[in-house]
Amino acid sequence: MAVYKRAYRSYTGPITAERWRFLVLTRYSLSQLFSSRAFSWFMMVTLLPVILSAAYVYVTNSVTAQLVLRMGNQSLLSVDGTFFSKILIAQAWMALFLTCWAGPLLVASDLSNSALPLYLSRPLNRAEYVTGKAAVLVLILSCVTWIPVLLIFALQSSLAGGSWAWQHLSFVAAILAGSFVWIAVLTLMSLATSAWVKWRIVATAVTFGLFVLPPGFGEAINGVMRTSWGRVLNLPYLLEMILTHMLGAPMQSHGPFSDQPLPQFAAWVVLVGVCFASLALLNKRLRACEVVRG
Amino acid sequence: MGFHAPSKGTAKVLGFDIRHDARKVRSLVGYMPESDSFIAGMSGIRFVRYMAEISGLPPEQAMERAHEAFFYVGLGEVRYRKLGTYSLGMKQLAKLAQAIAHGPKLLIMDEPTNGLDPPARQRMIQLVREIRDAGDMRLIISSHLLRDVEETCEEVLILRNGRLAALCNLEEERRANRKFLELETMGANGAFSSALQQLGCECAVFSNGRMKVVMPDKIEIREVYRIAEQQGIQIRKMNHRRDSLEDIFLNAMEQTGAAHGGL
């Protein structure tokens, strides 16, 4: 019978597995994000540093390419911890830009349209809602952080030989650990910000501001207190600390008091603390209804 | 729905405990919220399909059911339009479509006719009646519009401050509800009501000379006039009435208000 002729009837067909049902949210959110051509282009632009790095790796390992490019001093070319830390830091910034674009779309629009009761009146709890939305950012950010950087590692391994890969296997752990902590920070901070700031544009600005304004405040603290602890407010700096330490690369100078580096544990504590604080904010904000008293 | 954690006690919905089987309960319930709830930037059909998939339907079945639900609520022609372009009445119907697409056993509708113009309201009432009469699912309607409740519901539960103020079966209430006279008098006193009671009437006297008189079938109204004339009482207003849901509601409010020390 044609659909338009049917009367209401109860559903007796198959049901999907509850465990993976949060992926419905992920699938629809991804589809909504990539329906924007501008976002697709931007996603490709964020991979430019990776493409340039791949070219660099190729030139480093190819004598022919070096001759063609007339590169005299080959000792300047090397693929080491510094190279991987630089590319990861570049991709971390790209991930931040992507998060500012995509993050507020996920939760802020649901809250501004009072859609939470629709989700949470179904067999879906708040944790699954957050997981479904967070999975969108995790997937997108993975595509611009650890996945392409590991591909470059694989490229370097194939060009330099198996022994290079074995000698630098610790890089894989560093790439994964650094990327995962950064993805977790970006994802949770972005979702928490979007949950509290319902307007998308404002949520974008606040998310970006949280990464670029506190470092300035931190430097002011450093200047006044003559300490380097103000840098705990500088999340990109903390990521750089972790990456350079794990990759065995030297830390770049960051203005005054660079000779007083923060301990590694401080970086981990702050980044993990930011994740937990974001989760607490999400837990407080994501409710199916707001009780108006008075 | 599990929006608020229960503080104490137990409750079951469709035989499932709301604490331990909350997920099962929610899979059997369709919810149509009062507020303007929808997902931004989606077409109507995509929205309903999305909701059906979250309820557990596989994508193909969800799509089919979404189309069915949209035609069922009468929005078939506009199902590919963005939700943001829908009128208020269309949005209410789209919310109903998402609530029934997954085939719930219980449908909870929060103020379904709120803000609708008369034709849209009629359409919504008609749909609710159709769903009720089909018998596939049970309906709970939360509304302050008592006329809508009277038109669509069989049982009414009146809450006051979150507590049960009255529970009545509307059909039984209608049957038991005898016709009564509402009088507005000048100079009526205890003797007047006593005389009416001697005739076999039931009387309730209120302030400002207002009275409610339930008359047996055999007594004619002229008897009331005769007694009034004998006692020199002016009858200024006389209405034949039945208790409406509004009366039941106000009564319940007054009674519970009095029980709690006034309104």
Same domain, B29 and B148: yes
Number of helices (H), then strands (E), in chain B: 10, 11
Q: Check: CB of residue A268 under 8 Å from CB of residue A242.
A: yes
Q: Distance between CA B98 and CA A119 in Å, rounded?
A: 11
pLDDT of B57 over the 90 cut = yes
Q: How confident is the model at residue A199 (pLDDT cuts 50, 70, 90)?
A: confident
- The amino acid at residue A155 is L
Closest chain B residue to A286 measured between Cα atoms? B3
Contacts of A26 in chain B (CB under 8 A): none
Most confident of the ranges A86-90, B199-203, B230-234: A86-90
Q: Is A113 on the interface with B (CB under 8 A)?
A: yes
% of chain A surpassing 90 pLDDT:
60
- Cβ separation of B38 and A289 shorter than 8 Å? no
In angstroms, the separation between the Cα of residue A135 and the nearest Cα of chain B is 16
Residues B193 and B89 reside in one and the same domain: no
Q: What is the largest CA-CA distance in chain B?
A: 80
Query: Given pLDDT bands bounded at 50, 70 and 90, which one contains residue A222?
Result: confident
Residues B100-130: b if buried by 16+ CB within 10 A, e if exposed: bbbbbeebbbbbbbbebeeebbebbbebbee
CATH number at residue B198: 3.30.70.100
**What does the block give as tokens for A249?**
């690369």
Cα A63–A67–A73 angle (5° rounding)? 85
Q: Which DSSP string do the residues of B218-255 spell out, in sequence order? A: T--HHHHHHHHHHHT-EEEEEEEE---HHHHHHHHHHH
Q: Per-residue pLDDT tens for A233-248? A: 999 999 999 999 999 8
From the candidates B28, B54, B80, which should be mutated to test the interface with A, based on the most A CB atoms within 10 A? Answer: B54
Residues B34 and B147 in one domain: yes
Residue B4 lies in a domain: no
Residue B149 shares a structural domain with residue B207 = no
Asked if residue B256 belongs to a domain, the reply is no
| CA pair distance A45, A229, nearest whole angstrom | 35
Does the distance separating the beta carbons of A121 and B31 come in below 8 Å?
A: yes
Residues B135, B199, single domain; the answer is no
Tell me whether residues A114 and B100 touch, CB distance under 8 A: no
Instruction: For chain B, say whether A131 makes contact (Cβ under 8 Å).
Output: no
| Tokens, residue B143 | 């509304």
Shortest distance between the Cα of A33 and any Cα of chain B, in A, equals 11
User: Do residues B94 and B197 both lie within one domain?
Assistant: no
Is residue B44 situated within a structural domain?
Answer: yes
Q: Is the pLDDT of residue A216 over 50?
A: yes
Q: What is the mean pLDDT of chain B?
A: 85
User: What pLDDT shows up at residue A255?
Assistant: 66
With bands split at pLDDT 50, 70 and 90, how would you rate the model's confidence at B261?
Answer: very low
Cα gap B247→B253, rounded to integer Å = 10
CB-CB under 8 Å, A8 with B136: yes
Helix H or strand E segment including B176? helix B170-176
Most confident of A32-36, B206-210, B247-251: A32-36
- CA B169, distance to chain mean position in Å, is 11
Task: Establish if A1 touches chain B: CB-CB under 8 angstroms.
Answer: no
Question: What ipTM score was computed for the predicted complex, to two decimals?
Answer: 0.86
Domain ranges of chain A: 18-45+80-147+164-285
Which range of residues forms the domain containing residue B232? 178-241
Query: Same structural domain for residues B27 and B98?
Result: yes
Chains A and B form CB pairs within 8 A to the count of: 120
Residues of chain A with C-beta less than 8 angstroms from the C-beta of B4: 289
Query: Which chain A residues have a beta carbon less than 8 Å from that of B31?
Result: 117-118, 121
CB < 8 Å & 24+ apart, contacts of B15-20: none
Can you tell me the distance from the alpha carbon of B186 to that of B47, in angstroms, rounded to the nearest whole number?
A: 63
* Chain B residue at shortest CA distance from A287: B3
8 Å CB contact of A287 and B1: no
Residue B135 located in a structural domain: yes
Identify which of B33, B54, B102 has the shortest CB distance to residue A124. B54
Q: Is residue B148 part of a domain?
A: yes
**Cα dihedral sign for A271, A277, A279, A281?**
negative
Residues of chain A with Cβ-Cβ distance to B29 below 8 Å are: 121
Q: What pLDDT score does A7 carry?
A: 67
> Do residues A181 and A91 touch, judged by C-beta distance below 8 A?
no
- Tens digits of residue pLDDT in A126-143: 999 999 999 999 999 999
> How many domains in chain B?
2
**B29, B33, B41 ranked by CB distance to A32: nearest:** B41
Same domain, B221 and B141: no
Q: Do B20 and B128 lie in a common domain?
A: yes
**Does B87 reside within a domain?**
yes
Within 8 A by CB and 6+ apart from B77, the residues are: none
Q: Do B57 and A13 touch (CB under 8 A)?
A: yes
Q: Is the Cβ–Cβ distance between A222 and A256 less than 8 Å?
A: yes
Residues B222 and B149 in one domain: no
Domain-located, residue B246: no
| B145 and B207 in a common domain | no
CB pair distance less than 8 Å for B57 and A15? yes
Beta bridge partners of residue B167, listed in sequence order: B157
* In a domain? residue B64: yes
pLDDT at B136: 81
Of the listed ranges A31-40, B171-180, B217-226, the least confidently predicted one is: B171-180
